[in-house]
Amino acid sequence: MTAANVADYVESARRFLPDFAYQYLEGGAEDEITMTANRAAFRRIGFTPRVLVDVDAVDTRATLAGASAAWPAVVGPTGLNGLYWPRAEETLAQAAHAAGLPFALSTASTSLIEDVRRASDGELWLQLYVQQDRRIAESMMARARANGFTTLLLTVDTPVTGQRDHYARTGFTLPLRWTPRLLWDVLAHPRWVARVGRHGVPQLVNIAKSAGLGPGIEAQAAALSRQMDRSLAWDDLAWLRRHWPGRILVKGVQSVDDAVRASRHDMDGVVLSNHGGRQLDGAPSAMEILAGARASTPRGFELFIDGGVRRGSDIVKAVALGARGVLLGRAPLYGLAGHGRAGVDHVLALVFNELQICLRLIGCARIDALDASWLSVACDAHA
């Protein structure tokens, strides 16, 4: 079956991946209330279309943290992408560049900063988790700077990993331990074994390199990845500024007050995000706080959102409520799992096509002309 939309790729990813990997990709925290709310927030918003507008040409271009993009989206940072395809981050970076979008590399990536840069001339951002040993973050920032990464995303919603019940059910651990249950799971997915598993377990090579660990270090790197600096606080943003001359966006802001605080701490913007519903269950969806954050922060302060973006029309809604752009988390990964580059290309093409259709159907020829007057509420009463 040819995939017609992002949701169709969810199903093909589920068939391709062992259950532990699929659940890692798809699952949320606890009762998945927040994860469900992320989609529901988009469904509640409808449009107020304008007709008889010349929409022969539509302009979707955007400037995201100073970089021009073909449309207002970023291929967002996700860890452990090597579970889905070999050289996953290189593949995502190349697909993002081909689509005219920035790519954000996670601290918990399974490819090196240097290898991603070699694979792509595109716009690259670094997502940073700050470990207790601050030298790891300093090294990672230095490596990213040396490789021309432009924007830093400081993720602040993860002092600890959220409670993800599926870890216990599937036997997922970091590093992976080949228990009989996991082996059964893997052996039931021979296509995954042939394409991904035969290369061995993907490792957190980026964090290992910045921590100065040698080869065969998966256990130590995994342990390090859990040693978040839980003391990280607003005052530490000055430390970050000293090490990162480019733009800094604080990712994982979950209230209007914190967005305002970030703007007062010399940050360039925030990503309103609940980590795709993987951290605090009960956190609000970004779309619920976006309009308030826009009204309360200075005009040039960039607001991004993520969580549940699956359709081009979701991007239109976010931009109309004041977002500079969106981060795509799971959507490109659904394409990556089982289809590699072609799958990511197709997912991005599907979403971009939907975005253009939506703009034409609402009668908006320039995406930067969008505002809340194009929206209406209570579109889907059952959401």
Residues ≥6 apart with Cβ < 8 Å to 308: 35, 38, 39, 41, 42, 276, 285, 314
Do the Cβ atoms of 317 and 60 come closer than 8 Å? Answer: no
Query: Considering Cα of 50, then 293, then 144, then 266, what sign does the dihedral take?
Result: positive
- Answer for which of 9, 29, 32, 38 binds ligand FNR (CB under 6 A) is 38
Instruction: DSSP letter for 301, please.
Output: S
Using CB under 6 A as the binding rule, whether residue 254 contacts ligand FNR is answered as no
3-state DSSP percent of the chain in helix, strand and coil, to 5 = 50, 15, 40
Using CB under 6 A as the binding rule, whether residue 270 contacts ligand FNR is answered as no
Question: Hey, what amino acid is at 210?
Answer: S
Which part of the chain contacts ligand FNR (CB under 6 A), choosing from 115-123, 135-143, 171-179, 274-282?
A: 274-282
**CA-based R_g, the chain, Å:** 20
Which of the residues 97, 166, 189, 275 is marked catalytic?
Answer: 275
| Residues within window 331-360 making contact with ligand FNR, judged by CB under 6 A | 331
CB count within 10 Å of CB 308 equals 27
Using CB under 6 A as the binding rule, whether residue 127 contacts ligand FNR is answered as yes
Q: Which is nearer to ligand FNR, 197 or 308 (CB)?
A: 308
| Residues within window 152-191 making contact with ligand FNR, judged by CB under 6 A | 155
275 part of the active site: yes
Residues ≥6 apart with Cβ < 8 Å to 257: none
Which part of the chain contacts ligand FNR (CB under 6 A), choosing from 49-57, 72-80, 237-245, 313-321?
A: 72-80
- Asked whether residue 79 is marked as a ligand-binding residue, the answer is yes
- Answer for which of 294, 330, 339, 346 binds ligand FNR (CB under 6 A) is 330
Q: Which is nearer to ligand FNR, 293 or 364 (CB)?
A: 293
Residues ≥6 apart with Cβ < 8 Å to 166: 23, 24, 27, 172
Q: Which is nearer to ligand FNR, 157 or 364 (CB)?
A: 157
Using CB under 6 A as the binding rule, whether residue 106 contacts ligand FNR is answered as yes
**CA-to-CA distance for 361 and 193, rounded, in angstroms?**
44
Q: Which residue has the closest beta carbon to ligand FNR? A: 329
Please enumerate, by residue number, every residue annotated as part of a binding site for glyoxylate. 24, 129, 164, 275, 278
Q: Which residues bind ligand FNR (CB under 6 A)?
A: 24-25, 38, 76-79, 106, 108, 127, 155, 251, 273, 275-276, 278, 306-309, 327-331
